[in-house]
Structure 1
Amino acid sequence: MMHAHIIANGRVQGVGFRYSAQQYAKEYNLNGWVQNKSDGSVELEVEGSDSQVHSFMTDLESGFSPFIRIEDMQIDTQQEEKGYKTFSIR
């Protein structure tokens, strides 16, 4: 199992990013959360199987939708889970 903490920069607020992240997380059976940050970036935590987390991050890098543009992502992964039960928008 894997846990990833991600901060995404670019055109990520006001473009359906959090909703898209939630939909993709459900598709990959991942738990965690997503929230907008005051500096214009978006912060996420996701956890689940290694392959599902990697697939989610690949989709995230491509922007989920044509309206979202990822310019930079900071990713911190670890093997220890926090035990989230759902994926929520904060």
Structure 2
Amino acid sequence: MKYVSVRVQGRVQGVGFRYFTQHAAMSHNITGWVKNEDDGAVSLEAYGEDNNINRFLEEIKKGPTRFAKVSEMDVNKLSGDPEYSSFDVKY
């Protein structure tokens, strides 16, 4: 299992990025959360099988629409076994 925190920068707010991320996570059996940050970035934590996390991250790099643009994505491995039961959009 793989547990990561991700910070995504670019044009990622106001373009459906959080809901795209939630949908991608659910389709890859990933649990965790995603939220907008005050500085315009999007942060998330994701937990799942290694291969699923890798495919999920590749999908996130592409973004949801032609209006979104990921310019930078920082991924950090976390330790532990989080108790997430779903993938939630935080407000």
* Match of residue 12 from structure 2: 12
User: Please, which runs of 5 or more residues in structure 2 have no aligned partner?
Assistant: none
User: Please, which runs of 5 or more residues in structure 1 have no aligned partner?
Assistant: none
Return the TM-score normalized by structure 1: 0.94
**How far has the Cα of 1:83 moved from its partner?**
1.9
Equivalent residue of 1:85, what SS?
coil
Deviates more, 1:28-37 or 1:56-65: 56-65
Contact 1:34 1:45 in 2 (8 A): yes
Return the TM-score normalized by structure 2: 0.93
* Match of residue 42 from structure 1: 42
CA distance in structure 1 between the aligned counterparts of 2:40 and 2:51, rounded to whole angstroms: 29
CA distance in structure 2 between the aligned counterparts of 1:88 and 1:6, rounded to whole angstroms: 15
* Match of residue 54 from structure 1: 54
Contact 1:22 1:88 in 2 (8 A): yes
CA distance in structure 1 between the aligned counterparts of 2:71 and 2:2, rounded to whole angstroms: 24
CA distance in structure 2 between the aligned counterparts of 1:81 and 1:88, rounded to whole angstroms: 17
For 1:61, give the aligned amino acid: K
Percent identity over the alignment? 34
CA distance in structure 2 between the aligned counterparts of 1:74 and 1:87, rounded to whole angstroms: 19
**How far has the Cα of 1:78 moved from its partner?**
3.5
